């Protein structure tokens, strides 16, 4: 019936959240966010856009054996299996990782070969290894079909010329628009990967403040008024801390960074911020002290953005309400994420998050502007089908000038039920699929081409 295609993931990041119980307020928030994203990402300001998923993740001593965290209780091969489950669920376009063992430049390669480029996937690439002697380093991975790495820099010293506890990496990417004719016409993006000094002492806070001042001085000098996304484990306990204030209230306004969800406060051990907490996945079973305990009670991991990204000034925009901590349902304050019920992700993913690290990944979605070059854009009116449907779903795309449209039928978890290139008709494109055996319920019809993307709901009776 179909020639099944290897295609991009569903163009809606939050489809995996739609199975949550409707009585859960956090679930309703993410359902709302998903619907906003459907509406926004394909028709934003009348432009063609492509969704971009960014994930940041502290991997907890990945391939770095220590006296308190040996491989016997933090096995890197097992961790790679868990990370694979997580990344296959999210399918990030940009992945920033903290706490990769810095002793060998090849440690980061294992994530590429054993986690990302598996099961037929071969398009992920990574940045170069940078290290000034730290035992824990950052790394950025990216979908090479969508981005090219165009430069890389390491911030190694604070403004007093003291070595930072860990290198802060800056990566310059450009979007590989399928209609690109000149590299300078596309969207550029700078990703900053940071893992600041841990600890709650005054000295620790001072060291974090010095590190963020160095970051913001670099942004002011080199990246002011550009698309910037900062990712990582900042180890900041409250927004009043000087390190955080350096980000959001830097003396030069054009260099400031912003919290996409604008949630200032004392995040640590405060139930009001339970939905934002990213550490710890565990309450008491800490793998002999390798992982932190105490349950979810700190917001340590962040994604921050420049004003240009917030306001869509340079072709890249944060999608409102798309920021969340994966595996956090808002109901596990001071608990481990496996206690009771947690429907925020499928059970296999939740277990993988629990076993992989004592941090939760943080995910956010963005829309990147594509070149149009005079192509007419697909609209909702162009996509026609009977609704509800009983036996055969016949989808017609009335835009005859559409470029090689691809049809997909998805369930509400994001699983692809059928996918195929649409067939040419006299005045458009068409595809038909037998849905007789599908359970009754809501499904999604997606059509994607160079002219844009469109998603509509269909009811199967």
Q: CA–CA separation, 146 vs 53, rounded Å?
A: 11
Confidence band of 180 (pLDDT split at 50, 70, 90): low
Q: Is the pLDDT of residue 9 over 50?
A: no
Overall size of the chain counted in residues:
461
Q: CA–CA separation, 291 vs 82, rounded Å?
A: 15
pTM over the 0.75 mark: yes
Q: What is the pLDDT of residues 333-351, one digit of tens each?
A: 999 999 999 999 999 999 9
**Higher per-residue pLDDT: 88 or 411:** 88
Q: In which order are the strands placed within the sheet that holds 301-306?
A: 147-157, 163-175, 188-195, 228-233, 301-306, 257-258
Q: CA–CA separation, 170 vs 228, rounded Å?
A: 10
Q: What pLDDT score does 363 carry?
A: 97
Cβ neighbour number for residue 21 with a 10 Å cutoff? 10
Q: CA–CA separation, 61 vs 395, rounded Å?
A: 50
Confidence band of 27 (pLDDT split at 50, 70, 90): very low
Identity of the highest mean pLDDT range in 7-11, 250-254, 371-375, 429-433: 250-254
Cis peptide before 55 (omega within 30 of 0): no
Q: What pLDDT score does 451 carry?
A: 72
By percentage, how much of the chain surpasses pLDDT 90? Answer: 68
Domains annotated on the chain, with CATH: 47-369 (3.60.10.10), 380-460 (2.60.40.1220)
Contact 281, 291 (CB under 8 A): yes
- Region at 232 (left for phi over 0; alpha for psi -120 to 50; beta for the rest): left
DSSP 8-state symbol, 389: B
**Higher per-residue pLDDT: 171 or 5:** 171
Contact 207, 148 (CB under 8 A): no
**Higher per-residue pLDDT: 371 or 244:** 244
Q: What is the pLDDT of residues 228-245, one digit of tens each?
A: 999 999 999 999 999 999
Q: Is the pLDDT of residue 127 over 80?
A: yes
Q: Is the pLDDT of residue 149 over 90?
A: yes
Q: CA–CA separation, 196 vs 208, rounded Å?
A: 6
Q: What is the pLDDT of residues 45-72, one digit of tens each?
A: 345 778 899 999 999 999 999 999 999 9
CA atoms within 13 A of residue 370's CA, in its CB half-sphere:
27
Q: What pLDDT score does 426 carry?
A: 85
Helix (H, G, I), strand (E, B) or coil at 157: strand
Contact 128, 142 (CB under 8 A): no
| 122 CB burial (10 A radius; 0-12, 13-18, 19+) | exposed
Q: Is the pLDDT of residue 183 over 70?
A: no
Q: What is the pLDDT of residues 279-334, one digit of tens each?
A: 999 998 898 889 999 999 999 999 999 999 999 999 999 999 999 999 999 999 99
Contact 343, 329 (CB under 8 A): yes
Report which secondary-structure segment, H or E, holds 206: helix 202-218
Q: Which residues pair with 101 in a beta bridge?
A: 136
Q: Is the pLDDT of residue 39 over 80?
A: no
Q: Is the pLDDT of residue 7 over 80?
A: no
Mean pLDDT computed over every residue of the chain? 87
Confidence band of 373 (pLDDT split at 50, 70, 90): low
**Higher per-residue pLDDT: 28 or 399:** 399
Structure tokens at 367: 């829309």
Q: CA–CA separation, 125 vs 108, rounded Å?
A: 11
Q: CA–CA separation, 287 vs 161, rounded Å?
A: 38
Q: What pLDDT score does 178 carry?
A: 66
Contact 52, 12 (CB under 8 A): no
Q: Is the pLDDT of residue 137 over 80?
A: yes
What would the mean pLDDT of 391-416 be, rounded to a whole number?
84
Q: What pLDDT score does 314 carry?
A: 93
Mean pLDDT is lowest, of 24-33, 226-235, 359-368, for 24-33
Cβ neighbour number for residue 113 with a 10 Å cutoff? 12
Q: What pLDDT score does 303 carry?
A: 98
Residues 137, 140, 18, 81, CA torsion sign: negative
Q: CA–CA separation, 79 vs 358, rounded Å?
A: 12
Q: What pLDDT score does 454 carry?
A: 81
């Amino acid at each position: 019936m179909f020639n099944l295609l290897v295609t991009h993931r569903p163009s809606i990041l939050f489809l995996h959240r739609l199975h949550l119980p409707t009585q859960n307020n956090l679930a309703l928030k993410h359902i709302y966010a998903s619907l906003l994203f459907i509406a926004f990402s394909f028709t934003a300001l009348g432009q063609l856009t492509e969704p971009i998923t960014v994930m940041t993740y502290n991997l907890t001593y990945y391939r770095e054996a220590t006296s308190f965290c040996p491989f016997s209780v933090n096995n890197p091969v097992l961790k790679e299996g868990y990370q694979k489950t997580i990344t296959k669920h999210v399918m990030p376009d940009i992945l920033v990782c903290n706490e990769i063992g810095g002793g060998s430049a090849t440690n980061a390669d294992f994530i590429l070969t054993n986690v990302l480029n598996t099961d037929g996937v071969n398009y992920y690439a990574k940045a170069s290894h940078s290290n000034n002697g730290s035992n824990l380093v950052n790394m950025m991975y990216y979908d090479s079909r969508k981005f090219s790495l165009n430069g890389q820099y390491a911030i190694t010293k604070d403004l007093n010329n003291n070595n930072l506890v860990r290198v802060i990496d800056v990566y310059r990417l450009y979007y590989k628009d399928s209609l690109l004719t000149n590299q300078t016409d596309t969207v550029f993006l700078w990703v900053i990967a940071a893992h600041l000094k841990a600890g709650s002492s005054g000295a620790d806070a001072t060291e974090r403040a010095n590190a963020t001042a160095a970051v913001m001085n670099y942004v002011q000098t080199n990246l002011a008024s550009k698309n910037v996304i900062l990712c990582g484990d900042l180890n900041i306990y409250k927004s009043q801390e000087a390190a955080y204030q350096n980000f959001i209230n830097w003396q030069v306004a054009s260099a400031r960074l912003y919290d996409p969800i604008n949630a200032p406060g004392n995040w640590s051990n405060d139930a009001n911020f339970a939905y934002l907490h990213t550490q710890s996945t565990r309450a008491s079973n800490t793998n002999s002290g390798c992982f932190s305990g105490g349950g979810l009670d700190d917001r340590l991991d962040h994604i921050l953005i420049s004003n240009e990204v917030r306001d869509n000034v340079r072709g890249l925009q944060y999608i409102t309400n798309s920021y969340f901590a994966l595996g956090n349902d808002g109901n596990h304050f001071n608990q481990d994420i496996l206690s009771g019920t947690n429907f925020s992700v499928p059970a296999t993913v939740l277990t993988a998050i629990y076993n992989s690290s004592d941090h939760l990944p943080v995910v956010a979605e963005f829309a990147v502007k594509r070149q149009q070059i005079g192509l007419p854009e697909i609209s909702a009116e162009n996509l026609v089908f009977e609704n509800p449907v009983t036996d055969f779903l016949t989808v017609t795309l009335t835009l005859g000038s559409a470029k090689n449209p691809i049809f997909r039928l998805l369930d509400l978890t994001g699983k692809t039920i059928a996918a195929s290139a649409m067939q040419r008709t006299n005045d458009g494109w068409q595809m038909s699929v037998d849905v007789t055996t599908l359970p009754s319920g809501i499904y999604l019809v997606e059509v994607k081409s160079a002219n844009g993307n469109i998603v509509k709901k269909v009811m199967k009776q």
